Structure 1
Amino acid sequence: MLDAIAELKPQLNLALGDLGYESGIEEQFCDMVTGKLGTDLPYQLVTGNHESDGHEGDIENYIRCLPNKLPGLQGEYGTQWYADVPEKDPVVRFVLVSPGIDFRNGPLDYSKGSERWRWTTDAIDSAKSQGIPWTVVGMHVPCFSVGRYGCQAGEEFTNMLIEKKVDLVLSGHDHVYQRTHQLSTGASCPGLKPAAFSRGCLADSDGTMRQGQGTVFATVGTGGIGLYDINSKDPEMGYFAMTSGKNRNPTFGTLDVKATAEELTARFVPAKGYSLKDSFAIQRG
């Protein structure tokens, strides 16, 4: 997977948690990353549940050997932060948060109206008020999934991201690749419910979408650890445009996201020896 990223020569990489699955190997992991991608690439971190509380690694150790390299970053790197890319005349704001996972003192509070809820909404709203074309949110756990897990990110928090018209939400945690259609709330969909499906929540179901009509969710849990099965009977399956897991075209790889002032595009890039293909575009105007 790192070889696939290296061939893309990206400006940055978002690593959405669960990095080493074993305590004491943080430096080994960092050396593997920098050996493949070099020491200058911003390989940007947000914690997963395996290193958030230190039981299988420690996010603080990963931060020390893979520090922030994006200028102007705001917040607490590794846990809750945002950055505009590029720093001057940005085309995208990346907002990284950590709902739904345990830290040493328990889970962080992302409930409605909490300090971390307000921080997240302010980061989203200020990007829009500053005229930054695209807003991308990243977090370790998804809400909608046809893999192994339920809505660990929280129903209210996830619906807030849709209501705020975030363009793209990225996650890991579930060891599958899954990408939704564009989802929206409104008169025909007061709010999305986990473990259920409502056709009224589908804003657009083809590969070319318009900004402001809804939000696309993509889980890219395909970094190298064993994959999970796709549950084709999951009620949420109707929200998904593409799924891949242990029992359905199993593939490791990465999501290549590109943003210009007028268009945000993404395509799944499989590691060598795998074949899954998926792509979509969101256009402004």
Structure 2
Amino acid sequence: MDAKWRWWAAGAALCLVGGLSVAVGVHGGAVAQGRGSAEVVVVGAGDICGSNCKQTADLVKAANPAAVFTTGDNAYDNGALSDYRTYYEPAWGQFRSLIKPTPGNHEYQTSGAAGYWDYFNGVGNNNGVAGERGKGYYSWDVGDWHFVALNSNISMSAGSAQEVWLRNDLKATGKPCTAAYFHHPLFTRGSHSPTTTARPIWQALYDNKADLILNGHDHNYQRYAPQRPDGTADATNGIREVLVGTGGRAFYTFSRTMPNIEASNDNTYGILKLTLSATGYRGQFVPVAGRTFTDDFSGACKQKGTTGGFSLTADPATVAPGGSTTTKVTVSGTGSANLSLSGLPSGVTASIQPNPVTAPGAATVTLNAAASATPGTTTVTVSGTAGGQTKTTTFALTVGSPSSDVYFDDFERDTGWTVGASDTATTGVWERRDPEATAENGDKQLGTTTSGSNSLVTGRLAGSGAGSYDVDGGRTSMRSPAITLPSGQPRLSFRWSVGLGANASTEDYFRVTVQGTSSTVVLEQKGTGAHVNGSWRTASVDLSAFAGQTVRLLVEAADGGATSLVEAQVDDVRVSRG
């Protein structure tokens, strides 16, 4: 171990020991594969290339998305095939296998938007990536989301071919979440006037409980609160519009105020990054290098695609004979579901709390195994009933050999860790999430965990650079649930990683403390004035001094001095009998 690592072990002996595939399917087209886990990432922008879009292309590449959307005006000035080949192809052309485009008004400055279809579908081809030539509306799925690409340069009126197609498409999807995107926004505070002809399209999307509408046309960024097609705020059923005309074309300034506006900027190029799950979304405006404006928001899906209003998922569980454990059942969609279990192995009993569960929500299943329970793995069925409908899911329950573990947490489910009420950090607070990787002169936050998909991490997002979501502004902490230690020589072990910038001083730190009748710091890493790169390490701590006590673990990280780079992670916390 390098001498720069400092360890403190007052009162305790410390020693150191040494993607899923997500199908992206276009309706009526080919299927591509994107990388993801429990969530998928989709990015995009509009008003992209003249000659100033390489920076935003770099952001798309760094996001490693499952799919890329465009909100029109992809190639200036006229959307001709030569414009696409000269300006768009060298920058955004590298995402051809991921792209899901829509046309803007500049594409139609070439007759029939021929350059747009010739580029995306192939010269003379009537069908392809961009939908049917002359129509340009189509849909595709990624993860648990249904995306609808629309063409705001042709009729959007009620009863038009596009509006009728849209309503039929929305009724047919089985996905729980929906986003639509097209060029001309119904709501904007930019230089262009609102496109009121888009209202029937909005109405169709509103009637079918869509969640997001993405636009371009105005060369700036605008985010609105969920609203109805008439502009009335509607937090329950409204659609959130995000205008992201920041792909690379010269900016348009703001010319009016608008109700329901939540965030806006008219001087920063960037992309919209959407992290999508089966129950909601997290949106982030990612700026190009050298710019500071960002935006971060989230929302829940209306779950309109779940048959019968709700669906169930459950986590696997392992329990030792004579022991107990918990697992989680998640209820997505809408309604109040009464849960029950069947197929429990002999010697194992269970309780569910709360029950019923109001969706979206989750229940904790406590599993107790008698000492006589037979080791082995059993498939347990979870049933839920709501609104006259019954849904089921299963999970694997393993009855293992008698365990030496007193406590174990791999952070794949919530076991009761709490964030400090008096913490002062403004970003990079501890959370139990799937981390994204950051780097600055080496790895800082690791994009990996030591098991499963989650760890404790100080601000799991990567942002536009290593300093976007690191710890800033003070201290952040997380405290474990109570752990009752046996007599004898119990032992604590955990995996950890710390990344520190060269600007980190001794006022910046990562620290783990055991709190019982007294408190003991068992691990501390401070800033060294040099880059400290993140990597997974193992700590092992003798807890004999706390034997027989009920203790909690306190995990801390702090940016204590001038703003500096501080990242930390913890995984696989285990207390054993020793």
How would you bin the TM-score normalised by the shorter chain? 0.7 to 0.9
Which residue of the partner structure matches residue 125 of structure 1? 171
Q: Does 1:113 align with 2:159?
A: yes
Answer whether contact 1:222 1:251 (CA < 8 A) is retained. yes
Gaps of 5+ in 1: 102-107, 185-190, 194-200, 205-211
Offset from partner CA, 1:7-46 (integer Å, 9 cap, x none)? 11111110121122134222223431356x455x412211
Task: Find out whether 1:145 has 2:200 as its counterpart.
Answer: no
TM-score under structure 1 normalisation?
A: 0.75
Aligned match of 1:27 in 85, 104, 128? 85
Letter in 2 for 1:109: S
- In the TM superposition, what is the alpha-carbon distance from 1:94 to its structure 2 partner? 0.8
Letter in 1 for 2:217: H
Q: Say whether residues 1:274 and 2:295 are aligned partners.
A: no
Is the contact made by 2:213 and 2:242 (CA closer than 8 Å) also made in structure 1? yes
Instruction: Give the letter for the 1:172 counterpart.
Output: G
Tell me the number of residue pairs that the alignment of Structure 1 and Structure 2 aligns: 238
Q: Structure 1, residues 84-132: CA drift from partner, whole Å, max 9, x if none?
A: 11xxxx4011101112x2xxxxxx22211222111011112222xx2x1
AA at the equivalent of 1:91: D
1:204-245 CA-partner distances (Å, limit 9, x unpaired): 3xxxxxxx53210011000111111112x43xx221101111
What is the distance in 2 between the residues matched to 1:44 and 1:29?
18
Higher RCO, Cα 8 Å, sep 6+: 1
Root mean square deviation of aligned Cα: 2.7
Is 2:201 the partner of 1:157? Answer: yes
Which blocks of at least 5 consecutive residues in structure 2 are unaligned? 1-55, 302-359, 361-578
More helix by share: 1
Q: Is the Cα–Cα contact under 8 Å of residues 147 and 179 in structure 2 kept in the other structure?
A: yes
Distance 2:262 2:122 in 1: 37
CA distance in 1, matches of 2:122, 2:287: 27
Instruction: Choose which of 227, 230, 241 in structure 1 pairs with 2:251.
Output: 227
User: What is residue 28 of structure 2 aligned with on the other side?
Assistant: none
What is the identity percentage for the equivalent residue pairs of Structure 1 and Structure 2?
Answer: 24
Which of the two has higher C-alpha Rg?
2
1:11 match: 66
Equivalent residue letter for 2:155: D
The one-letter amino acid paired with 1:112 is A
**3-state SS of 1:264 partner:** strand
Residue 166 of structure 2 aligns to a residue whose secondary structure is helix
Q: 1:203 aligns with which of 213, 221, 234?
A: 234
Distance 2:146 2:233 in 1: 25
Partner SS for 1:203: coil
How far apart, in 2, do the equivalents of 1:126 and 1:38 lie? Answer: 29
Change (3 A) 1:65 1:6: farther
Q: How many angstroms apart in 2 are the aligned matches of 1:81 and 1:38?
A: 19
Does structure 1 residue 175 correspond to structure 2 residue 247? no
Scaled by the length of structure 2, what TM-score is found? 0.38
Name whichever structure is richer in strand by fraction.
2
Q: How far did 1:283 drift?
A: 2.1
Report the CA distance between 1:53 and its aligned residue: 4.4
